Amino acid sequence: MSTTERWLFKLLPMLRWWPMVDRSSTRADLIAGLTGTIILVPQAVAYASIAGLPPEYGLYTAIVPVIVSALFGSSWHLVSGPTAALSIVIFATLSPLAEPGSAAYIQLVFSLTFMTGILMLAMGLARLGFLVNFISHSVVIGFTAGAAVLIAVSQLKNFFGVSAAASASFVETLTLFVRELPHTNPFTLSVGVVTLLTGVATRKYLPRIPHMISAMLVGSLYAALLQRLFGSGTAIATVAAIPRSLPPLSMPELSVQTLRELGAIALALTMLSLTEAIAIARAVTLKSGQRIDSSQEFIGQGLANLCGSFASGYVSSGSFTRSGVNYAAGAKTPLAPVFSALFLLMTLIALAPLVRFLPIASMAAILLLVAYSLVDVHHIRTIVKTGHAESGILFATMLATLFLHLEFAIYVGVLLSLMVFLERTARPGIRNAIPAPGDNSYHFVMQTSEPDCCQLKMVFIDGAIYFGAVDHVQRHLRDVDASHPGHKHLLVLAPGINFIDSSGAELLAQEARRRRRIGGGLYFHRLPEPAVDMLERAGHLQDIGRENLFAIGQNVIEAIYPKLDPEVCRRCQTRIFKQCQSALPNGEPRAPGVVIVERGPRPAHSTR
């Protein structure tokens, strides 16, 4: 592939999959797109409600951003649009700044969407897609579970038909609801219960029927029946009417004050949105076998949010439900979500007036179903079983989601993930070693209960020696001769040292000089070439000595043995090297009668 073609594919990634488009794939994509639209309509309306926006903005967000992300993203099956987690973050962070649903609030949403898109696009163009690998899966699971609780609590007032002021605080929202609970509207509550039970029953017993749509239909018909029987006294509130029109153009406001107010929120939404998108895309690729480019997906999501901010959309990302349905429905190319957006556009024009018959209690019941589905019980159990660190990150993120501002909850999770990652990488594995049985000049195995050489200590080091690991490595290397003063010589078995930075190079040079001062030496076996290059560039290779670096296949023990003290060897009763058995390090023949330590065979998997 020429350089021009490579750049063309980066600018227009749809060129990679366009040759796959034919009559068969188009038919499959049309069916998948129509299926996705049926799922999308109730979700989009519900998510807009979570975000504190009029219902039509959820539908707008599922049109232009979906088309742009499909054409410029990397995944062939990822479907973008409004999501529950992003919606609750938007409401929680913007509601203190403006009244939800007001013109000022909607303007802030457009500005936030624009800023988020800029950050995503910049990260994609800078090829920073790898950064999402440092956000633990536990953070996403914990945050999503916490967001599910917030969504459920925020909808209780609508489900029970009570009047309680909106609040972004979990505790305050719950307190206000409990205070108003005696004023429950029984008609509204019954509509919510009927809708909820219908959704649960449909999903369990009729899985082929979209449970959200069936629940909305049954709930709406039941509410209409109540109003016919009991009249206006039921006081069952309904959703506001949706205008029958194309997504109107919008203009984000980017004043200095807006940038100052929304900067931290935009960064948090960027991290959450990209993590969601990449995690979902990777989950789908486990089934499809497609390889995705994280940085290109960043670009696709960034462009989607940028364009969405001018087309009355709010912050969007990949949807696990719609992506899974898209793949299961047989989608072949990214044209499937494009068709889904076009079908939604036709639906918006044709069926928008019908939304005004949807009871708010039914919408609350749908959101309770959404909240329940967000709690990934299976993965929570798995994480709890795997280790304390991941469990701590999960529950800390979830609690932070409930009791802190949501953008800070994301920061807490990311910070904890990085701390765990750094703690693990800052402690590279250091294991004692001995020569392998049989061929003990070239290969080595981990030491269990076998004796050491009196003068030469051998250790495996597995991991990077960088500034964060310097203290850990230095402490272990100093402990070698501190605990056994005779171990003046140290052989580092180094194929597992995958990286050395300037701090690590300085540490190894200091250790080499220290060991020479006490009459010993520092040696390396199979140190990777990039690590050797780093030592040379840092000016520390001369301190270690290139003659003390041994490549694979070299007889490292044969080279080191003459450097040992013959007087110590003369008194030593342990002969673990074959060189020990015939002569001392100075070439003098061995005196007979010295005990030779025999070591039994080792398992094949322990050799290295």
- First vs last C-alpha separation in the chain: 40
**C-beta atoms surrounding 71 within 10 Å:** 18
Encode pLDDT of 265-298 as tens digits: 999 899 888 888 887 887 677 677 788 888 899 9
Distance between CA atoms of residues 314 and 559, nearest Å: 68
Query: Tokens 């989608």 label which residue?
Result: 331
Encode pLDDT of 406-422 as tens digits: 768 878 888 888 888 88
Provide the Cα torsion 239, 241, 242, 248; round to 10°.
-120
The token pair at 390 is 């991941």
Provide the Cα torsion 403, 408, 411, 413; round to 10°.
10
**pLDDT value of residue 604:** 41
CA dist 605 → 390, 451, 601, 602, 608 (Å): 30, 21, 12, 8, 8
Name residues whose C-beta falls within 8 Å of residue 59's C-beta, 6 or more positions apart in sequence: 41, 44, 45, 48, 242, 344, 348
Nearest residue to 344 (alpha-carbon basis) of 77, 78, 67, 69: 67
Distance between CA atoms of residues 37 and 554, nearest Å: 66
**C-beta atoms surrounding 503 within 10 Å:** 15
The answer to whether 311 and 64 have CB atoms below 8 angstroms apart is: yes
166 or 500, which is more confident = 500
Q: Has residue 547 got a pLDDT over 90?
A: yes
Q: Has residue 22 got a pLDDT over 70?
A: yes
Distance between CA atoms of residues 80 and 62, nearest Å: 7
Distance between CA atoms of residues 522 and 503, nearest Å: 17
Query: Tokens 């797109």 label which residue?
Result: 33
Distance between CA atoms of residues 409 and 395, nearest Å: 11
Percent share of the chain, pLDDT over 70: 94
**pLDDT value of residue 439:** 56
Sort strands 444-446 and 521-525 into parallel, antiparallel or unpaired.
Answer: unpaired
Q: Compute the mean pLDDT over every residue in the chain, rounded to the nearest whole number.
A: 87
**pLDDT value of residue 409:** 80
Encode pLDDT of 216-247 as tens digits: 889 999 999 998 888 877 888 887 777 888 89
The answer to whether 455 and 568 have CB atoms below 8 angstroms apart is: yes
**pLDDT value of residue 437:** 79
Nearest residue to 576 (alpha-carbon basis) of 559, 562, 557: 557
The answer to whether 339 and 71 have CB atoms below 8 angstroms apart is: no
pLDDT (mean) for 524-551 = 94
Rounded to a whole number of angstroms, the CA Rg of the chain reads 32
The three-class DSSP label of residue 491 is: strand
Most confident by average pLDDT, 4-8, 144-148, 517-521, 578-582: 517-521
The answer to whether 280 and 319 have CB atoms below 8 angstroms apart is: yes
The token pair at 591 is 């005196």
E strand residue ranges, 285-413: 317-318
- Pick the range with the lowest mean pLDDT from 34-38, 51-55, 199-203, 360-364: 34-38
pLDDT (mean) for 341-365 = 84
**pLDDT value of residue 302:** 95
Encode pLDDT of 68-98 as tens digits: 999 999 899 899 999 888 998 899 899 999 9
Q: Has residue 594 got a pLDDT over 50?
A: no
**C-beta atoms surrounding 593 within 10 Å:** 5
The answer to whether 360 and 237 have CB atoms below 8 angstroms apart is: yes
